[in-house]
């Protein structure tokens, strides 16, 4: 512990992002680098507590607590405070394959479980984490991870999102020959096409992919296993296979008028925008434009926020965001104690930008869409809504109840549905393999991440359900250990 009284002497220094009115003019990341002295002081705030919860990665009463990949947070906080950056990188890479991703897009459950946060503001763990890896790349400390020997076993990883990449990296480290199949034209899954560039620059994703390729991992894009290649061929050509296909079956909104033009699933909107941005700087016009439109985003999660930020950068006339849930409290409720993830009201980058441009937070809480209404050309022009309150039913379960007299008509000519996902697609590899599904429709796995089909494993959102990038990395690492044990007769030196 570098400075025993640091948490009492220093205040939390929040990230100084670019001003909303400035950053909406481009698609560049809005997080500028943090000065070294600021990071050193922030590292000094870490208490090195006797029982740190920041890296536990547990579920407490169904709520996340701490880092799912068990990052050695107090250790690298102390090393940053002491200026020992290379040693901090060693600690960070022990648990996290892709700190440049989590340090940008993770909501930081570690900070929600920080002991300093019990009675004050948590340590800026996320900011320190991304600064370590960014400095490491800038200094040339991050090298290809080539194994000294090869086992001769071949593994197919199907899907190149965070789970697939983490799984591939670990299996390659164990000496296996890994091939990653990706149906899109670029590697990265949701890291590439699901998260906008201003939140995660695609050059950073490609930099990691290139490094993995230099480490001996083979990537095949534009190829969907189960469509372009039969699954039986994969099972014949490889000693094991891992399904990391994500939970890409989007939840829809089945109300009158859903088939009107101008209503799109959020991921279609986001992925087409990023592809066009990368291909032509949006010059090809092959994306869903919000320019000059009154946009309504239905859904209040990260994807909804990304739709808000993207629409603003297109030049939307107005942006409104619907959330069926009530607004969260400003502080932890009694039933949400530390070290659980705090369910409190937050304002993310998209809402900040909307407030700066349009003068108010775009969110409306406790609202439900009853139907869409279109014009003579079959294009959506308005939404009919009703306000709801959340009440307990006879069995004690909370649910929305419409408030009489609260009906409202909202103008919109572009509607984006950001309602989450219901699990992996049931076509392609899942259908051909006939793997067992759990009660939620996800691919069932045992503790080793093995599916009901021998030699086939699954990880990430495909088996866990829609979750965070950091959980996907944890799942991929865990699956890699399961595969390694399967191939190496029950032994593995990979961390679980």
What are the DSSP calls for 456-481, one per residue? EEE-THHHH-S--HHHHHHHHHHHHH
The answer to whether domain 154-248+425-487 has CATH 3.40.50.300 is no
How far apart are alpha carbons 116 and 390 in whole angstroms?
Answer: 33
Q: At which residue do the structure tokens 């926020």 appear?
A: 305
Q: What is the pLDDT of residues 429-450, one digit of tens each?
A: 999 999 999 999 999 999 999 9
Distance from C-alpha of 441 to C-alpha of 89, rounded to nearest angstrom? 39
CA-based torsion, 39, 44, 50, 51: positive or negative: negative
Q: Which of 363, 351, 356 is nearest to 327 (CA)?
A: 363
Q: Token pair for residue 204?
A: 């950073």
Please, are residues 24 and 197 in contact by the beta-carbon 8 Å criterion? no
Q: Do residues 155 and 238 make contact, with C-beta atoms less than 8 angstroms apart?
A: yes
Examine the pLDDT at 199 and tell me if it is beyond 70: yes
Largest Cα separation within the chain, whole Å, is 71
Handedness of CA 144, 147, 152, 155 (dihedral sign): negative
Q: Is the dihedral angle over the CA atoms 428, 429, 433, 436 positive or is it negative? A: negative
Please list, in sequence order, all residues whose beta carbon lies within 8 angstroms of the beta carbon of residue 283, skipping any fewer than 6 positions away: 276
Position 298 pLDDT exceeds 90: yes
pLDDT class for 62, splitting at 50, 70, 90? confident
Burial of 149 from C-beta contacts in 10 A (0-12 / 13-18 / 19+): exposed
Q: Tell me the Ramachandran region of residue 128: left when phi exceeds 0, alpha when psi lies from -120 to 50, beta otherwise.
A: alpha
Model pLDDT, residue 1: 62
DSSP letter for 243, please: E
Q: Where in the chain is the domain with CATH 3.50.50.60?
A: 154-248+425-487, 263-417
Is the CB of residue 344 less than 8 Å from the CB of residue 327?
no
Taking the C-alpha atoms of 205, 197, 479 and 425 in order, what is their torsion angle to the nearest 10 degrees? -130
Measured CA to CA, the distance from residue 209 to residue 187 in angstroms comes to 7
Q: Find all residues with CB under 8 Å of 1, minimum gap 6, and list them.
A: 46, 47, 48, 74, 78
What is the distance in angstroms between the CA of the first residue and the CA of the last residue of the chain? 28
**In this structure, what are the phi and psi dihedrals at residue 486, rounded to the nearest 5 degrees?**
-60, -40
- Do residues 97 and 211 lie in contact, with contact meaning Cβ atoms separated by under 8 Å? no
Tell which residue, 68, 235, 80, has the closest CA to residue 162.
Answer: 68
Average pLDDT over residues 158-177: 98
Contact 99, 133 (CB under 8 A): yes
The CATH number of 6-139 is 1.10.1060.10
For residue 147, name the pLDDT band (cuts at 50, 70, 90). very high
Percent of the chain whose pLDDT exceeds 70: 99
Predicted confidence band at 412 (pLDDT cuts at 50, 70, 90)? very high
Question: If pLDDT is split at 50, 70 and 90, which confidence band does 59 have?
Answer: confident
Please say if the pLDDT value at position 40 is more than 70: yes
pLDDT at 47: 86
Considering just the CA atoms, what is the radius of gyration of the chain in Å?
23
CATH 3.50.50.60 assigned to domain 263-417? The reply is yes
Q: Rounded to an integer, what distance in angstroms lies between the CA atom of residue 86 and that of residue 82? A: 11
CATH 1.10.1060.10 occupies which residues in the chain? 6-139
Give residue 48's pLDDT: 77
In whole angstroms, give the CA distance from residue 132 to residue 176: 29
Residue 316's pLDDT is 98
pLDDT tier at 2, thresholds 50, 70, 90: low
Per residue in 98-142, pLDDT tens?
999 999 999 999 999 999 999 899 999 999 999 999 999 999 999
How confident is the model over 31-41, as a mean pLDDT? 94
């Amino acid at each position: 512990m570098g400075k025993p009284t640091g948490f009492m002497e220093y205040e939390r220094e929040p990230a100084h992002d670019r001003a909303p009115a400035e950053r909406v003019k481009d698609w560049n990341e809005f997080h500028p680098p943090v000065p070294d002295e600021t990071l050193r002081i922030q590292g000094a705030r870490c208490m090195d507590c006797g029982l740190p919860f920041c890296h536990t990665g547990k579920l407490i009463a169904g709520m996340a607590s701490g880092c799912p990949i068990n990052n050695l947070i107090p250790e690298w906080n102390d090393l940053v405070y002491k200026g020992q950056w290379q040693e901090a990188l060693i600690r960070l890479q022990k648990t996290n394959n892709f700190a440049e991703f989590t340090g940008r897009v993770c909501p930081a459950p570690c900070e929600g479980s920080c002991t300093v946060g019990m009675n004050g503001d948590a340590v800026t763990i996320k900011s320190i984490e991304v600064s370590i890896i960014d400095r490491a790349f800038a200094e040339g400390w991050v090298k290809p991870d080539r194994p000294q020997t090869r086992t001769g076993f071949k593994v197919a990883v199907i899907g190149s999102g965070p789970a697939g990449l983490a799984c591939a990296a670990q299996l390659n480290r164990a000496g296996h020959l890994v091939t990653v199949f990706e149906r899109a034209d670029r590697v990265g899954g949701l890291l590439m096409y699901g998260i906008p560039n201003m939140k995660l620059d695609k050059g950073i994703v490609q930099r990691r992919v290139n490094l993995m390729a230099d480490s001996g991992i083979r990537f095949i894009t534009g190829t969907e296993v189960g469509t372009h290649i039969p699954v039986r061929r994969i099972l014949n050509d490889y000693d094991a296979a891992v399904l990391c296909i994500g939970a890409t079956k989007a939840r829809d909104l089945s109300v009158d008028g859903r088939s009107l033009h101008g209503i799109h699933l959020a991921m279609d909107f986001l992925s087409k925008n990023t592809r066009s941005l990368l291909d032509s700087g949006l010059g090809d016009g092959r994306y869903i434009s919000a320019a000059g439109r009154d946009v309504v985003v239905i859904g209040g999660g990260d994807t909804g926020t990304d739709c808000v930020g993207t629409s603003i950068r297109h030049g939307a006339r107005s942006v409104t965001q619907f959330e069926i849930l009530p607004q969260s409290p400003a502080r932890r409720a009694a039933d949400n104690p530390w070290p659980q993830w705090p369910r409190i009201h937050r304002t993310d980058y998209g809402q900040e930008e909307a407030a700066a441009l349009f003068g108010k937070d775009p969110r409306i809480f406790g609202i439900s869409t009853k139907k869409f209404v279109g014009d003579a050309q079959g294009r959506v022009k308005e939404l009919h809504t009703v306000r709801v309150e959340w009440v307990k039913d006879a069995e004690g379960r909370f649910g929305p109840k419409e408030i009489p007299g609260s009906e409202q008509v909202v103008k919109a000519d572009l509607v984006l549905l950001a309602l989450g996902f219901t699990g992996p697609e049931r076509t392609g590899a899942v259908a051909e393999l006939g793997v067992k599904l759990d009660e939620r429709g996800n691919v069932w796995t045992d503790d080793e991440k093995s599916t009901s089909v021998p030699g086939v494993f699954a990880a990430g959102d495909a088996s866990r359900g829609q979750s965070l990038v950091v959980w996907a990395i944890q799942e991929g690492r865990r699956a890699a250990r399961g595969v390694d044990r399967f191939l190496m007769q029950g032994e593995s030196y990979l961390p679980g």
